[in-house]
């Protein structure tokens, strides 16, 4: 287990707006979650026994779910939903499930969608709030993207809280990735500093599955499923010509989870390049020589590259940031395509290379069945947390349980593949790729 995943020295306390004192209207369940119920961060028996020997508390997360007492009066509650950042399968599923849970389970009728991300809060953009009703969201899960629209880039936190306070929203759900969650935390802290009772709940959204201390983010399963089909197509193309090469670039700015899992799902990839493992291009043990040996022995090859792989080859280029403040990655797909063609041309070896970049297609499709179910759970748990007065937290899946997690904990660093762990070992065994370092 990598350092930090054991849970030592981390703060898992969840902020609250006050003591809940209203009986929950949720009648369909007879099982309410007690505030003392916890989920262990590290379930290793050896680790738990070591904590017992030291007489220290075993690090744990607060268990998510409906509470017997809630903080907000549903008949007077106003809620908002905002989606930020890039598209991802399942956003509409989350929006729909939030609305249905609030309306039918809690009796909250005043639910608003904030259009185009954080811009929707800022008066100068002149975006009108959208009234979210069960009728409005009835079929939105059948489509990809977000019915609310999205945007990137920071906005003034004080202006955001001004907008929330102006319409007296009691609960705001932020659906987004690392930058969105940081903004949500800042909004929660600003509201608390003003003495304004507003619950801010994050639902982590990143197709890359790189949120720290979150086992899986929604949309990831769909992305892997779609990516598997692309890899299979690349395999068909590669086998259909002499010395055929299928090169696929997949999402994964800092973490290669989609590339690794899609490769395992298809079992057609011969090389998987991810940000977590360095590789050399040239030299006897480099990638290009390894690719040549593969072609000479089998006649074809399939390469899967995460977008953040091999960034050392772009260090001399000027670094630019996108609207969210992320450093733009060099295009490893086009770079590899050109270098592969140059290498084999210099050796007078004719190859047939097909390059495929399906990124925008994959992130825009509707969620598959698995992700739709997952989105529903996340939304329901988020509503339970918000109505009970929790704030500055997100809903995450950890050890197969839904938990409350401080936003600050999830944004301290990005989750990455452990290249000494079982996932990457399985990829190496499946592909047979060597260590490509001289």
Cα(415)–Cα(409) distance, integer angstroms: 12
Torsion angle of alpha carbons 154, 254, 47, 406, nearest 10°?
10
Catalytic residue check, 208: yes
Task: Tell me if 62 sits within 8 A of 42, measured CB to CB.
Answer: no
Burial class (CB in 10 A: 0-12, 13-18, 19+), 228: buried
Catalytic residue among 208, 210, 221, 254: 208
Cα(132)–Cα(111) distance, integer angstroms: 5
Tell me which residue has tokens 């040239």: 282
Tell me which residue has tokens 């290379």: 353
Tell me which residue has tokens 């593969």: 294
- Give the list of residues 6+ apart from residue 410 with CB closer than 8 angstroms, or none: 181, 202, 204, 211, 212, 213, 214, 394, 396
Task: Tell me if 97 sits within 8 A of 375, measured CB to CB.
Answer: yes
Task: Tell me if 311 sits within 8 A of 332, measured CB to CB.
Answer: yes
Residues that are catalytic: 208
């Amino acid at each position: 287990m990598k350092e930090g995943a054991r849970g030592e020295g981390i703060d898992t306390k969840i902020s609250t707006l006050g003591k809940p004192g209203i009986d929950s209207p949720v009648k369909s369940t007879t099982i309410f979650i007690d505030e003392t119920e916890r989920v262990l961060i590290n379930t290793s028996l050896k680790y738990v026994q070591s904590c017992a020997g030291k007489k220290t508390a075993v690090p744990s997360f607060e268990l998510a779910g409906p509470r017997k007492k809630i903080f907000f009066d549903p008949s007077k509650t106003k809620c908002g939903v905002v989606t930020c950042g890039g598209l991802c399968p399942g956003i509409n599923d989350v929006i729909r499930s939030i609305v249905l849970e609030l309306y039918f389970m809690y009796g909250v009728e005043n639910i608003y969608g904030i259009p185009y991300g954080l811009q929707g809060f800022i008066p100068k953009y002149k975006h009108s709030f959208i009234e979210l009703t069960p009728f409005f969201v009835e079929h939105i899960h059948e489509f990809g993207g977000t019915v609310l629209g999205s945007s990137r880039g920071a906005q003034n936190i004080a202006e955001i809280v001004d907008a929330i306070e102006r319409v007296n929203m009691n609960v705001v759900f932020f659906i987004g990735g690392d930058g969105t969650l940081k903004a949500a935390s800042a909004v929660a802290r600003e509201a608390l500093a003003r003495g304004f009772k507003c619950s801010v709940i994050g639902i982590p959204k990143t197709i890359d599955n790189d949120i720290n201390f979150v086992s899986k983010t929604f949309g990831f399963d769909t992305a892997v499923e779609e990516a598997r089909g692309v890899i299979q197509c690349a395999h068909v193309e590669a086998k259909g010509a002499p010395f055929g090469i299928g090169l696929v670039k997949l999402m994964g700015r800092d973490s290669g989870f989609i590339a690794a899992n899609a490769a395992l799902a298809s079992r057609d990839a011969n090389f998987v390049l991810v940000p977590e493992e360095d590789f050399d291009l040239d030299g006897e043990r480099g990638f290009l020589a390894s690719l040549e040996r593969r072609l000479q022995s089998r006649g074809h090859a399939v390469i899967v590259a995460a977008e953040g792989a091999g960034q050392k080859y772009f260090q001399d280029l000027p670094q630019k940031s996108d609207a969210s403040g992320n450093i733009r990655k060099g295009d490893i797909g086009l770079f590899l395509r050109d270098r592969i063609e140059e290498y084999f041309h210099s050796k007078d070896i004719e190859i047939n290379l097909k390059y495929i970049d399906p990124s925008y297609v994959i992130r825009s499709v509707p969620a598959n069945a698995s992700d739709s179910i997952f989105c529903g759970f996340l939304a329901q748990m988020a509503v339970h947390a918000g109505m009970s007065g929790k704030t500055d937290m997100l809903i995450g899946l950890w050890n197969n349980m839904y938990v409350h997690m401080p936003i600050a904990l999830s944004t301290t660093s990005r989750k990455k593949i452990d290249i000494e762990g079982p996932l990457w070992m399985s990829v190496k065994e499946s592909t047979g790729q060597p260590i490509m370092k001289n």
